[in-house]
Amino acid sequence: MQRQVQAPLPIDSHLAEIREHIRRHRTAVIVAPPGSGKTTRVPPALAELGTTILLQPRRVAARTLTRRIASERGWTIGEEIGWQIRFERRFSRRTRLLVATEGILTARLQSDPLLSDFRIVILDEFHERSIHADLALALVKQALDARDDLAVVVMSATLDAQPVSHFLGGARIFNVDARTYPIEIRYRPNTTVAQAVRETTGDVLCFLPGAREIEQTRIEIGDIDALVLPLHGQLDVDAQERAIAPAPRRRVILATNLAETSLTVEGITEVIDSGLQKVMRYDAETGIDHLVTERIPLDSADQRAGRAGRTAPGRATRLWDARDLLRPHREPEIHRVDLAAPMLDLIAWGGDPRTFEFFERPQEERLNAALALLEQLGADAELRRFPLHPRLARLIIAANFDETAIRIAAAISDGVRLRRSSTTVSDAFALADDAPRETVRELMARVTTKRSADETVLLKAILAAYPDRVAMRREPRSPRLLLASGTGAVLAKESGVRDGDFLVALELAGSGTGEALVRAASIVEKEWLQPTHREKVHMLTNAGNVRAVERLWYGALPLGERGTEVDPIEAERILAEARKPRIDPLTQRRIAFAGGEKHLDRLAPLTIPLPSGRTARLDYREDGSVFAAVKLQELFGLAETPKIGPRQIPVTFELLAPNGRPVQVTRDLRNFWNSTYGDVRKELRGRYPRHPWPDDPWNATPTHRAKKRGQ
């Protein structure tokens, strides 16, 4: 390849000093603004000292940077420079500079903990603090301590450099405080991206939180004299590269934070920033990660604005008030996402997650949860055979490497969403039909022995992949579920799985109502569930004898009970207790609730008045809570949950359908009417048409009766 004439960049005058420092001292942190040239100039300069690997957070950036550096240096891709990303590699033994995504280095460290193939490791865009980057830095630090000829460089435009320097033993910080072109920052609150676009004339890069917002903005922009191009992670790599390629017409690029990285989009002079981003967060109630739309931090805002000044003077329009305070730095992924996959990598490397020297240690509770999941999955070396989440690797292995299982795993891994499933056994089969061909092909290439699995094997394999996401229907064919974690859930309408008492939740999302939304499910037969724990219970029969049963549980789900041998010591204790004159259990619990026998009827009443004019009996529980089972219609208009006792404990209402079965449990009636009642109404009004199901429960008349005929 012919070498391109390089335009001078601010980093150029620092290259010799950086290279000499690395040769002598082996560690450095480089902080330089967008457009300074750190990503394209520092790695090839350091590659003169030895084989170098440059880590990038995203695939499209890795490929684009490789082409850019090759063009500037006159190198050939696959020879002097190459790339390695998920499912794709272009390098050889002669490659001096390898550009790779962060997970690639973690994978290489499993087989070569000392990174003997490399002399220098560069972690670029480290401010993004992905879980892969954090783990890569910590593992490379171990290799750095073990080798005296390995060098580590961390680079970013907006990094808080001091903690990284300290972690690397006092690495020197190079601050390249220069920008090639000035950027005007202006604030336009209460303005949409589409409105702001119409005020521009040049090439524009617009930052929006996600693919849905990008599509909505594209519609709002309408017909303009420009190419309107989406750029987000759900597009394949080729489509992403087409979005950033030069074009003969003016471009309006609608992008997620994918475009915040070292990705160079030539010709951009205008940035329009919505100030929003979508990040993955672990939801403790559902036990999974889900996307949350949030305000961006200040370092992200600066990174986005910098896209406007890379090749010419530019302007960044921020669609929020200048007085708004943004947090200074983004929150590291290690504190907000599922840790199962990175902890499997760490275990495979040979580390103990409980004692490992992390750059920033994760919370112990979430670390323990990840290790517990890996124990359920069976964390063995086979799970690392595929570059997938351990769940999906287990699915493929448990299905004997069946192609349908591979297609299911590929679809889930690439974020394929269920549209409308017609399969009544498992929504996974519908997902498999939409699996991305490229991912399927790459996964199939890793399988040496291909076998076919029948439907039962596939369903059991799905259970093996999601052992913690088993759910039980609250009623036959009802979409309302109880998860093994003890959390309530609702089956989405697009799911085709309408039968079966037990399910596996393939995709869970927070619904904002306190219950999880199961977007995709798969049937599980009860006999496939091995009890997670057993409970032996002794009880006194009406005949005065002691009987014992063993209750079987799968998490919070009851699997049944069976008679078992009575423990004579426990039987004697129960019989002795029965012979004692004592207060009945309800009165005992009321006394405990009231804190004594004084004013018992006032502090722990037997009943509570209802808006319908009737009363409900109160059930005092051993744990100090108090319950009332009430037909839903009797509470219309009641906003504040009644509180009783010296500690003002809220009454927990078991809201009953007309048939007397619970449909919801709540201690917050106001939230129930505002958020959950609509779903309950939709489910039950067709089944019980003679009972009132008003649109407005706040102003409806509370009643325990059905509607009169003709109403």
Instruction: Give 5's pLDDT tier (boundaries 50, 70, 90).
Output: low
Q: For the residues 338-345, what does the mean pLDDT come to?
A: 91
Domain count, the chain: 5
DSSP for 655-679, written as a single string: EEPTTS-EEEEES-HHHIIIIIHHH
Instruction: Confirm whether 428 is domain-assigned.
Output: yes
State in Å, rounded, how far the first CA of the chain is from the last one.
83
Instruction: Give 111's pLDDT tier (boundaries 50, 70, 90).
Output: confident
Top pLDDT among 70 and 6 is at 70
Instruction: Confirm whether 349 is domain-assigned.
Output: no
What local confidence, expressed as pLDDT, does residue 177 receive? 77
Q: Which of 334, 349, 367 is the last residue of a domain?
A: 334
238 and 271 share a domain? yes
442 and 318 share a domain? no
Q: Which of 113, 142, 175 is the last residue of a domain?
A: 175
Buried b (16+ CB within 10 A) or exposed e, 541-566: eeeeebebbebbbbbebebeeeeeeb
Q: Which of 157, 175, 193 is the last residue of a domain?
A: 175
What local confidence, expressed as pLDDT, does residue 511 receive? 59
514 and 571 share a domain? no
Q: For the residues 25-30, what does the mean pLDDT come to?
A: 98
Instruction: Confirm whether 244 is domain-assigned.
Output: yes
User: What percent of the chain shows pLDDT beyond 70?
Assistant: 96
Encode 419-486 in three state secondary structure: CCCCCCCEHHHHHHHCCCHHHHHHHHCCCCCCCCCCHHHHHHHHHHHCCCCEEEECCCCCCEEEECCC
Instruction: Confirm whether 126 is domain-assigned.
Output: yes
Q: Which domain holds residue 45?
A: 10-175
198 and 86 share a domain? no
Instruction: Confirm whether 138 is domain-assigned.
Output: yes
Instruction: Confirm whether 235 is domain-assigned.
Output: yes
Residue 135 CA to residue 363 CA, distance in Å, equals 15
25 and 166 share a domain? yes
Residue 241 CA to residue 622 CA, distance in Å, equals 62
Q: For the residues 310-339, what does the mean pLDDT come to?
A: 91
The CATH number covering residue 278 comes to 3.40.50.300
Q: For the residues 338-346, what does the mean pLDDT come to?
A: 92
What is the pTM assigned to this prediction? 0.71
User: In the predicted model, is pLDDT for residue 286 greater than 60?
Assistant: no
559 and 516 share a domain? no
Of 215, 219, 212, 220, give the one whose Cα is nearest residue 192.
Answer: 220
User: In the predicted model, is pLDDT for residue 242 greater than 80?
Assistant: yes
Residue 119 CA to residue 34 CA, distance in Å, equals 26
521 and 538 share a domain? no
What local confidence, expressed as pLDDT, does residue 181 receive? 79
Residue 512: both structure tokens together: 């904002």
Query: Tens of pLDDT along 355-364?
Result: 999 999 999 9
285 and 240 share a domain? yes
196 and 321 share a domain? yes
188 and 135 share a domain? no
Instruction: Confirm whether 312 is domain-assigned.
Output: yes
611 and 666 share a domain? yes
User: In the predicted model, is pLDDT for residue 220 greater than 50?
Assistant: yes
14 and 159 share a domain? yes
User: In the predicted model, is pLDDT for residue 74 greater than 80?
Assistant: yes
Instruction: Confirm whether 17 is domain-assigned.
Output: yes
Query: Tens of pLDDT along 369-381?
Result: 899 999 999 988 7
Query: Tens of pLDDT along 517-565?
Result: 898 999 999 999 999 999 999 999 988 899 999 999 999 999 999 999 9
